[in-house]
Structure 1
Amino acid sequence: MINSTQVSYFILAAYFDTGLYKYIYFMVIMSLYMLIVGANLLLIVVICMNRSLHEPMYLFLCSLFVNELYGSTGLFPSLLVQILSDIHTVSAPFCFLLNFCLNFYAGVGFTNLAVMSFDRYLAICCPLQYNIQMTSYKIAMLIALTWLYALLVCLIMISLTNSLKLCGNIIEKVYCDNYSIVKLACSDTTINNIYGLFMISFTILCPVCLIFYTYIKILKVCFSGSKQTRQKAVSTCTPHLASLLNFSFGAFFEIVQSRFNMNHVPIVLRFFLSLYFLTCQPLLNPLLYGLNMSKIRNICKSLVFAKM
């Protein structure tokens, strides 16, 4: 429930007048959304329906694709409505729901990438213990913890933000984000700011540090191992590393844009860069993993040619 001290609606002030071009923007973003949904849904179905892909690496990938599908669906319908609308307002309950969805998406994304790096570490550095360590039960637990941890963190964040008394309703973004809402508060936000730092540290920095630690271990094994070991590491780790760098860049820009004055940056550039975090990752991951992993690529080819 939204507090009685809250405003009833928010104005998304980052939208700019595009005239008739809004229909072109609408078609471009709609095409992107359909491409993201189609690509991620195809890979989810391929992994779920083929028993040969019921291995830890592919199951973690399936969790990643589900999160990309969820995050895109949390953003794009609202974005498409706002592009065609002349009055860029959202109700307070919907704004908080959108805020929760996007933060939940980010939390699951980073934690899932950390779990995937741990899986690669075991497969490359401890191959003899891999099947003993990565049992079906442990895989299910890791995937469940990935989602439950992000859910708990985001629920606490939303409840803290919801308790604030707001004295404004203008958000300088194209969607609702937590820090923009907190900045509108005229009550004490110390707890919110402390929890925000905690959330960034344990949801972004800790997974990233774990990923870099596992990659250092993997690199040591690669330099001292055989050519076959190096090839295996490169083929499985390159897509994951590219995905991590892309996601981290988007998250870094999003944090900078939320916490610092970006008025010197052209509004059109701010608009597209604010969407980078939520559009490029769901679009890039199916290409990275679908094209680079031979098992997925071959099954997708067989499905396409079978239909033709």
Structure 2
Amino acid sequence: MENSTQVKFFYLFGLQETLNNKSVYFTLSLVTYLLIITMNLTLILTIIQEKGLHEPMYIFLCSLCINGLYGTAGFYPKFLLDLQSDVQVISYGGCFTQTFVIYTSVMCEMSTLTVMSYDRYVAICRPLLYHNIVKSLTVRKLLLLSWCYPLFIALISLSLTVRLPLCGSRIDKIFCDFPSILKHACFSITINQIWSKCLVLVHVLQLLYIVFSYCQIVRTCVKSAKGRIKFTQTCVPHVLTIFIFITVTLFDHLQGWNNVNITLNSRNAMAVQFLVIPPVFNPLIYGLNLQRIRRAVFRKCNTHTIFVMRR
């Protein structure tokens, strides 16, 4: 217990193999973060300003982009500062704050994708009842659920971790997370492990629901040419987003296995993928595939260009 009071800071050792190329990594990271901000903000503002896009599918997409900005805000500013520092240090409170933000963002991504699969299931498999089932109140409830559930779960995970006295301060990653912190727990973490297994079970159930929804959607769409076109236009982007998210999340779990013999740079690359690939590809995939969004974005760009030229 005495050692736990001495843990005021955590030391991040994930950048030890990149000391000679910090400027390169800083430039790439800064460009990536600016790209994430620009693309997601463009999609968010387009959906908010265009009344024709005030439909459930686009509202959920807007929530997905907001979550992308939220999650990356918990990583990139600190990471860019670390690339400019000789010693990578984060305060006790800062470490738990970063962990909470990133953890919440990952869970919110999953819950939003689940809500979006439900919306597409009702829209394609029960089109005549869609407006009766997915009302504006229902949309607000689903949005509230997709955000409040991850926040509530993250608060429980945070409280279960904060209660533990810590006997170390070394984190072999470029950002804080619960497994890295729990490695330094002085007491038993059995409760935390049971809680983590319960959350994994919930995530598996969410994934199974998404798979079930799209099996039903595919079965409905293959019956007609119109259904296949609708599936290609509105569901393919969602399927790609789910595939990307699951893939990069699995990579993050893979890098935590102690029996995997890979370099520190490889571990960092796998660990940070879910903070790079989904926030970049989500707006890109939807922006290119959904015609209404693409047209709205191009129209706004053309209007802005004309306005600038007239000035």
TM over 0.5: yes
Contact kept, 8 Å, 2:17 with 2:265, in 1: the verdict is: no
**Cα shift at 1:171:** 1.0
Where 1:173 maps in the other structure, the secondary structure is coil
Unaligned runs of 5+ in 2: 306-311
What corresponds to 2:151 in structure 1?
151
The answer to whether the Cα contact below 8 Å between 1:11 and 1:90 also exists between their aligned partners in 2 is yes
The answer for unaligned runs of 5 or more in structure 1 is none
Task: Name the aligned partner's letter for residue 129 of structure 2.
Answer: Q
CA deviation map 1:259-291 (0-9, x unaligned): 4344x2122222222111111100000110001
SS of the residue 1:152 aligns to: helix
Partner of 2:300: 303
Contact 2:255–2:270 (Cα < 8 Å) also in 1: no
Deviations 1:85-110 (A, max 9, x none): 11111111000000000000001000
* CA-to-aligned-CA distance 1:40-77 (integer Å, 9 cap, x gap): 00110000111100001000001101000111111100
Please name the residue that 1:239 is paired with.
Answer: 237
Aligned pairs for 1:1-308 within 5 A: 5=5, 7-19=7-19, 21-202=21-202, 204-223=203-222, 225-262=223-260, 264-308=261-305
CA RMSD of the aligned region, Å?
1.4
Distance 1:261 1:12 in 2: 21
Deviation for aligned residue 1:20 = 5.1
TM-score by length of 1: 0.95
Give the fraction of aligned pairs with identical amino acids, expressed as a percent: 37
User: Does structure 2 retain, via aligned residues, the 8 Å contact 1:74–1:98?
Assistant: yes
Give the counterpart letter for 1:233 in structure 2: F
SS in 2 for 1:129: helix
Partners of 2:125 and 2:292 lie apart in 1 by 22
Query: What is the CA distance between 1:306 and its match in structure 2?
Result: 1.3
How far did 1:188 drift?
Answer: 1.0
| 1:226 partner amino acid | S
Q: What displacement does 1:16 show?
A: 1.8
Tell me if the contact between 1:179 and 1:259 (Cα under 8 Å) persists in the aligned partners: no
The amino acid that maps onto 1:296 is I
Q: Is the contact between residue 161 and residue 178 of structure 2 (CA under 8 Å) also seen in structure 1?
A: yes
Alignment size in residue pairs: 303
Instruction: With the length of structure 2 as denominator, give the TM-score of the two structures.
Output: 0.94
